[in-house]
Amino acid sequence: MSNVSVGSDLSSDALPVLIHGAFQGFTGAAERLEQAYAALREQVATLNFALNDTNLRLTQSLKENTRIRHYLSNLLKSIEKGIVVVDAAGRITLWSGGAERLTGFLAAEVSGEQADRLLGREAAALLHGVTGDGREGAREGRIMRKDGYVLDAEISASPIYDESGRVLDTIVIFDDISQRKWVEERRRRSTAQAGLEQMAVTIAHGIRNPLTSIELLATILSEEAGSDVRQTHLAQGIQAGVASVNIILINLLAFTRPVKPCLRPLDLHEVIEEALGTAWYALKERQIDLIREYESGLLEVDGDRELVIQVFLNLVLNAVQAMPSGGQLRISSSDCASRLRLSNGDSETVAGRRPEAGGMSGGEFVEVRVSDSGCGIAEADLEKIFLPFFTTKPKGAGLGLAIVERILERHGARVSLDSRVGQGTTFTLLFRHRRRDTASSQGEI
């Protein structure tokens, strides 16, 4: 067996030194690797902390943004005025809770729709001013609700600018001022009506005495005429004229006297039918088609039967006079559950619109509509149509509709009017439902 030589230049004493050196190098490399790994872990921990902190702040920011968004949304919902945002193309991008309540349209129904179609011509003019030259504006206008009612509104429009100062959107704010307009109109009409009533009493009493003398003389002439046909005919003409003037005087005095209804339970359908029975010959003579659209069941209110019959008779005869060549008379009734409300038992007469009022919740009143297909009423005459002595007809004293308003007022009811020239007229009457727990009363209410 022979000996193996490791090498001529490597002694047996140097090998441990080499191994030791290699181990030392490996140990140093391992320590450096461990230090690098520790530094890396520290950096990762720092980054994780920073990331967690960033995530926390982002989460808090998102929560705050959500809170602010909900707050602004609730704020928009709680504002009574209608707030609408319209883009440059005229499309609706925001429709507030107030706009929903005032118009009856939900935001989902109008999103993306053209604003001028929903908000009316006055709002359209304001929008045009904003998109044209960024001009702010405000004016009074009229906006039609979803249910067809027209409310008087105060409308304003202002531009919303982007970072470059260009008009981005338009914000439209509107509010229902129907009640305010009604109060102003009532005040104006009350002042005018007080003077007219006093004048009516003076004229009626001033005419009645000589009228009695004329009637007496005409009777004497008729009796003395004997077989003189011409003189008899002239005397009868005088008597007919006196009778006509006397009817006007009776209406005048009836109009100026306080209305004190004797309230009893009434079925409105029966009352309407009685009024139609009185007017049947006039309807037949003018060849007017009568259409009834009654709510099924009993529509009961508290009212004075004779006075309420007079209300419907006056409205029917008014419709007949508006259709000299025939037409269509439609009478409909419904047990309403809408947003219209009466205020403090007052009646309301509003020409050409049907505004909101306060104090009466839905489902507490009965609605009756009397519609004709006649000539309609000019817009300039709408505000005067219920004034005493105002008439657009060649015959009549102009008291029929004034008496309608007076009677309804004393019943805590209201009448409103919508009319278009050449299309016809609709009178809408709202009566309070009869209270079952309230006994019938008598006298003024």
One-character DSSP codes across 72-87: HHHHHHH-SSEEEEEE
Same domain, 414 and 271: yes
Structure confidence at residue 396 (pLDDT): 67
Same domain, 61 and 86: no
In a domain, 303, yes or no: yes
Q: Given 143, 176, 209, which residue is the final one in a domain? A: 176
In a domain, 396, yes or no: yes
Segments forming the whole domain that contains residue 399: 264-432
Under DSSP, is residue 36 helix (H, G, I), strand (E, B) or coil? helix
Q: Given 240, 256, 272, which residue is the final one in a domain? A: 256
User: Quick one: 194 exposed, middle or buried, by C-beta within 10 A (0-12, 13-18, 19+)?
Assistant: exposed
Instruction: HSE, CB side, 13 Å, CA atoms: give it for residue 294.
Output: 14
Same domain, 274 and 387: yes
Under DSSP, is residue 12 helix (H, G, I), strand (E, B) or coil? coil
Same domain, 170 and 202: no
Structure confidence at residue 347 (pLDDT): 36
Same domain, 269 and 136: no
* 406: CATH: 3.30.565.10
Q: How far is it, in rounded angstroms, from Cα 300 to Cα 366?
A: 8
Residue of 292 and 192 predicted with greater confidence: 292
**Number of domain units in the chain:** 4
Mean pLDDT, residues 86-115 taken together: 91
pLDDT band at 287 (very low <50, low <70, confident <90, very high): very high
CB 176 within 8 A of CB 355: yes
Verdict on whether the full-model pTM lies above 0.75: no
Same domain, 172 and 189: no
Under DSSP, is residue 244 helix (H, G, I), strand (E, B) or coil? helix
In a domain, 422, yes or no: yes
Residue of 81 and 26 predicted with greater confidence: 81
In a domain, 5, yes or no: no
Structure confidence at residue 357 (pLDDT): 36
Structure confidence at residue 296 (pLDDT): 84
Containing H/E element for 71? helix 14-78
Mean pLDDT, residues 203-217 taken together: 82
pLDDT more than 70, % of the chain: 84
The pair phi, psi for residue 105, each rounded to 5°, is -90, 135
The H helix count followed by the E strand count for the chain is 11, 13
Q: How far is it, in rounded angstroms, from Cα 445 to Cα 412?
A: 8
- At residue 441, does pLDDT exceed 60? no
Q: Are strands 137-144 and 365-372 parallel, antiparallel or unpaired?
A: unpaired
- Contacts within 8 Å (CB) and 24+ apart, 396-403: 396/321, 397/248, 397/251, 397/252, 399/251, 399/252, 399/255, 400/314, 400/317, 400/318, 401/314, 401/318, 402/255, 403/251, 403/254, 403/255, 403/310, 403/311, 403/314
Q: What tens digit of pLDDT does each residue of 372-384 get?
A: 999 999 888 888 8
Mean pLDDT, residues 55-72 taken together: 82
Same domain, 73 and 85: no
Same domain, 190 and 274: no
In a domain, 309, yes or no: yes
| E strand intervals along 377-421 | 414-420
Tell me the residue type at 412.
G
Structure confidence at residue 27 (pLDDT): 80
Structure confidence at residue 124 (pLDDT): 87
Tell me the residue type at 195.
G
In a domain, 242, yes or no: yes
Return the ∠ at Cα 435 (arms to 336 and 347), rounded to 5°: 60
Same domain, 289 and 315: yes
Containing H/E element for 163? none
In a domain, 438, yes or no: no
Same domain, 171 and 188: no
Strands across the sheet with 150-161, in order?
92-95, 82-87, 167-176, 150-161, 137-144
Q: Given 256, 278, 293, which residue is the final one in a domain? A: 256
Q: Look at the block and give the residue holding tokens 């008779």.
A: 313
Same domain, 239 and 273: no
Structure confidence at residue 360 (pLDDT): 39
pLDDT band at 187 (very low <50, low <70, confident <90, very high): confident
